[in-house]
């Protein structure tokens, strides 16, 4: 589901170097942040996929509840019909 997020590690490393980091520190920090972003950050497509899955689940749930309600209604009608016959 995950797609790569555009993250400019070179530009980030340059900013870190200009802030006083060594080149090695800046590169390691940029690589670590890129990994975190890649692994943990949801993309717009991830969110769209989740929304679509939720819509599909909602449709299935509504269908299942409709079937159950219909079955309960039919059973109730059968019980009432039986009671009416017994009491008549």
Q: Can you give the pLDDT at residue 88? A: 85
Q: Say yes or no to pLDDT of 76 above 80.
A: yes
Q: Can you give the pLDDT at residue 44? A: 87
Q: Can you give the pLDDT at residue 2? A: 47
Q: What is the average pLDDT score of the chain?
A: 91
Q: Say yes or no to pLDDT of 39 above 90.
A: no
Task: Measure the CA–CA gap between 68 and 57, rounded to whole angstroms.
Answer: 16
Contact call for residues 46 and 5 (beta carbons, < 8 A): no
Q: Can you give the pLDDT at residue 10? A: 92
């Amino acid at each position: 589901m995950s797609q790569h997020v555009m993250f400019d590690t070179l530009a980030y490393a340059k900013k870190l170097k200009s802030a006083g980091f060594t080149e090695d520190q800046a590169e390691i920090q940029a690589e670590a942040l890129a990994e975190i972003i890649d692994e943990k950050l949801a993309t717009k497509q991830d969110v769209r996929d989740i929304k679509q899955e939720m819509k599909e689940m909602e449709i299935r749930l509504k269908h299942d509840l409709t079937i159950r309600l219909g079955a309960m209604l039919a059973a109730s009608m059968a019980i009432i019909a039986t009671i009416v016959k017994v009491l008549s």
